[in-house]
Amino acid sequence: MDYKNSPYYRVGRATDLTGKDRLIYRLLEILPGTLAWGTIFGTILVSYYLPFWAAVFIIIFDLYWLLKTIYLSMYLRTNWKKMQHNMSVDWKKMLVNLKYDHVYHLVLLPFFNESEELVEKSIESLIVSEYDKDKMIVVLATEEKGGQYAANLAKKVEKKFGKKFGHFLVTKHPFGVLGEMPGKGSNIAYAAEEARRRILDRNKIKYEDVMVSAFDIDTVIYPQYFECLTWNFLTTEEPLKSSFQPVPFYNNNIWQAPALSRVVAVSGTFWQMIQQERPERLSTFSSHSVCFKTLFEIGYWQKNMVSEDSRIFWNAFMARNGDYKVVPMSYPISMDANQDMSLWHTIKSIYKQQRRWAWGVENMPYVLFGFIKNKSIPRYNKIRFTMVLLEGFWSWSTNPIMIFLLGWLPVVIGGMHFQGTVMSYNLPILTRDLMTLAMFGLVTSAAISLSFLPPRPDGMSWKHSAFMVVQWIFVPITVTIFGAIPSLDAQTRLMFGKYMGFWVTPKHRKK
Amino acid sequence: MSMSIHKRRIVTVIFVLLFFILAPLIVFYAKGDIWSNGFNFLKTGGIFVRATESGSEIYINGKLEDTTNFFSRDYFIKNLRPVTYEIVVKKTGYNDWKNNLRVYSNRVTETRAFALPAKIEAVDIPEFNKTEVSAGTTTKTILKLNPDYDQAKKMFLDSYWADQILTVKSTTTGKISKYLPGTKENPIESRHMLAWAEGKDVFVSWTGNPDSIPKYFCEDGGFEIKCQNTLKVYSFESNVRSLDYFLGDTEIILVAAGDRVEAIEAETNPDKRPQVVYEGDKPDFRLSGSSIIIKVGKLYKEINI
- Tell me the pLDDT tens digit for each residue of A187-218: 999 999 999 999 999 999 999 999 999 999 99
Query: Quick one: average pLDDT of A425-448?
Result: 86
Share of chain A above pLDDT 90, in %: 75
DSSP helix/strand/coil, A327: strand
Strands A288-291, B41-43: pairing is: unpaired
Cβ neighbours of A152 (radius 10 Å): 12
Residues B299 and B156 in one domain: yes
CA distance B131 to A426: 63
Asked if pLDDT for residue A510 goes beyond 60, the answer is no
Q: Which of residues 92-111 of B touch A (CB under 8 A)?
A: 106-110
Q: Phi then psi for B77, rounded to 5 degrees?
A: -120, 135
pLDDT at A506: 66
Asked if pLDDT for residue A351 goes beyond 80, the answer is yes
Q: Give the number of beta-carbon pairs within 8 Å between A and B.
A: 84
pLDDT at B1: 62
Closest residue in B to A69 (Cα) is B15
Query: Quick one: average pLDDT of A117-140?
Result: 95
Q: Is residue B134 part of a domain?
A: no
Query: Quick one: average pLDDT of A86-94?
Result: 95
- Total domains in chain B come to 2
Gap between the terminal Cα atoms of chain A: 56
pLDDT at A288: 96
Q: What is the mean pLDDT of chain A?
A: 92
Angle at CA of residue A193, ends A187 and A195, nearest 5°: 100
CA distance A251 to A253: 5
The amino acid at A103: V
Shortest Cα distance, chain A CAs vs residue B15, angstroms: 7
Q: Is residue B133 part of a domain?
A: no
Query: Quick one: average pLDDT of B218-237?
Result: 82
* Cβ–Cβ gap B106/A423 under 8 Å: yes
Sign of the Cα torsion A211, A282, A329, A164 reads positive
Q: Which CATH number covers residue B86?
A: 2.60.40.10
Partners of B90 in the beta sheet? B57
Residues B189 and B46 in one domain: no
Residues of B in contact with A79 (CB under 8 A): 2
* Cβ–Cβ gap A426/B30 under 8 Å: yes
Q: Which residues of B262-287 are buried (b: 16+ CB within 10 A; e: fewer)?
A: bbbbbbebeebebbbbbebeebbbbe
Residues B209 and B275 in one domain: yes
pLDDT at A160: 95
Residues B78 and B185 in one domain: no
Residues of B in contact with A280 (CB under 8 A): 5
Shortest Cα distance, chain B CAs vs residue A64, angstroms: 7
Q: Is residue B34 part of a domain?
A: no
CA distance A211 to B305: 81
Distance set, CA A112 to CA A149, A184, A336, A502, B84 (Å): 9, 9, 16, 12, 75
Q: Is residue B29 part of a domain?
A: no
Asked if pLDDT for residue A489 goes beyond 90, the answer is yes
How do residues A451-481 score in pLDDT, each as one tens digit? 888 889 888 888 888 888 888 888 888 999 9
Q: How confident is the model at residue A339 (pLDDT cuts 50, 70, 90)?
A: confident
Q: Is residue B11 part of a domain?
A: no
Residues B280 and B159 in one domain: yes
Residues B278 and B206 in one domain: yes
* Cβ–Cβ gap B108/A67 under 8 Å: no
Residues B108 and B160 in one domain: no
Shortest Cα distance, chain A CAs vs residue B1, angstroms: 6
* Cβ–Cβ gap A63/B22 under 8 Å: yes
Query: Quick one: average pLDDT of B225-243?
Result: 89
Cα dihedral A436/A438/A440/A441 (nearest 10):
-160
Query: Quick one: average pLDDT of B192-200?
Result: 92
CA distance A450 to A465: 8
Contact A344, A336 (CB under 8 A): no
CA distance A394 to A342: 32
Residues B212 and B91 in one domain: no
Closest residue in A to B218 (Cα) is A416
Distance set, CA A375 to CA A1, A78, A325, A462 (Å): 11, 37, 19, 59
* Cβ–Cβ gap A415/B18 under 8 Å: no
A140 or B222, higher pLDDT: A140
CA distance A186 to A171: 12
Cβ neighbours of B202 (radius 10 Å): 24
Contact A379, A354 (CB under 8 A): no
- Spell out the residues 6+ positions from residue A144 whose beta carbon is closer than 8 angstroms to its own: A172, A173, A174, A175
Residues B166 and B292 in one domain: yes
Nearest to A420 among B8, B31, B107 (CB): B107
Shortest Cα distance, chain A CAs vs residue B23, angstroms: 6
Q: Is residue B131 part of a domain?
A: no
pLDDT at B222: 65
* Cβ–Cβ gap A426/B29 under 8 Å: yes
Q: Where does residue A113 fall: left (phi above 0), alpha (psi -120 to 50 degrees), or beta otherwise?
A: alpha
pLDDT at A185: 93
Nearest to A430 among B30, B44, B48 (CB): B30
Residues B181 and B298 in one domain: yes
Q: Which of residues 382-421 of A touch B (CB under 8 A)?
A: 415-417, 420-421
How do residues A147-182 score in pLDDT, each as one tens digit? 999 999 999 999 999 999 999 999 999 998 888 888
The amino acid at A33: G
Contact A273, A79 (CB under 8 A): yes
pLDDT at A507: 64
Q: Is residue B124 part of a domain?
A: no
pLDDT at A404: 78
Residues B76 and B177 in one domain: no
A341 or A152, higher pLDDT: A152
- DSSP H helical segments within A9-50, as ranges? 19-49
Q: Which three-class secondary structure string do you get for chain B?
A: CCCCHHHHHHHHHHHHHHHHHHHHHHHHHHHCEEECCCCCEEECEEEEEEECCCCCEEEECCEEEEECCCCCCEEEEEEECCCEEEEEEECCCECCEEEEEECCCCEEEEEEECCCECCCCEEECCCEEEEEEEECCEEEEEEEECHHHHHHHHHCCHHHHHHHCEEEECCCCCCEEEECCCECCCCEEECCEEEEEECCEEEEEECCCHHHCCHHHEEECCCCEEECCEEEEEECCCCEEEEEEECCEEEEEEEEECCEEEEEECCCCCCCCCEEEEECCCCEEEEECCEEEEEECCEEEEEEC
Last residue of a domain, one of B64, B96, B113: B113
Q: Which of residues 218-277 of A touch B (CB under 8 A)?
A: 277
pLDDT at B159: 81
Nearest to A422 among B8, B46, B213 (CB): B46
Q: Which residues of B74-93 are buried (b: 16+ CB within 10 A; e: fewer)?
A: ebbbbebebeebebbbbbee
Last residue of a domain, one of B89, B113, B137: B113
When mean pLDDT is compared across A291-300, B72-81, B143-152, B205-214, the lowest value belongs to B205-214
Max avg pLDDT among A233-242, B105-114, B217-226: A233-242
Q: How confident is the model at residue A1 (pLDDT cuts 50, 70, 90)?
A: low
A508 or A31, higher pLDDT: A31
CA distance B84 to B87: 10
How do residues A44-74 score in pLDDT, each as one tens digit? 999 999 999 999 999 999 999 999 999 999 9
* Cβ–Cβ gap B31/A85 under 8 Å: no
Last residue of a domain, one of B91, B113, B135: B113
Domain hosting B153: range is 147-304
Partners of A288 in the beta sheet? A214
When mean pLDDT is compared across A214-223, B70-79, B218-227, B292-301, the lowest value belongs to B218-227
pLDDT at A441: 76
Contact A355, A486 (CB under 8 A): yes
Burial of A336 (C-beta count, 10 Å sphere; 0-12/13-18/19+): buried
Q: How confident is the model at residue B288 (pLDDT cuts 50, 70, 90)?
A: confident
* Cβ–Cβ gap A427/B218 under 8 Å: no
What is the model's pTM?
Answer: 0.82
Q: Is residue B32 part of a domain?
A: no
Q: Does A63 touch chain B (CB under 8 A)?
A: yes
CA distance A375 to B298: 100
Q: Where does residue A459 fall: left (phi above 0), alpha (psi -120 to 50 degrees), or beta otherwise?
A: left
Residues B217 and B91 in one domain: no
Share of chain B above pLDDT 90, in %: 50
Shortest Cα distance, chain A CAs vs residue B103, angstroms: 11
Q: Which of residues 80-119 of A touch B (CB under 8 A)?
A: 81-82, 85
How do residues B100-148 score in pLDDT, each as one tens digit? 888 989 999 888 888 899 899 999 999 888 888 887 778 888 888 889 9
A238 or B175, higher pLDDT: A238
Asked if pLDDT for residue A511 goes beyond 60, the answer is no
Asked if pLDDT for residue A487 goes beyond 60, the answer is yes
Partners of A483 in the beta sheet? none
Query: Quick one: average pLDDT of B57-70?
Result: 92
Q: Does A427 touch chain B (CB under 8 A)?
A: yes
* Cβ–Cβ gap B220/A79 under 8 Å: no
Tallying the residues shown for chain B, one arrives at: 305
Contact A125, A164 (CB under 8 A): no
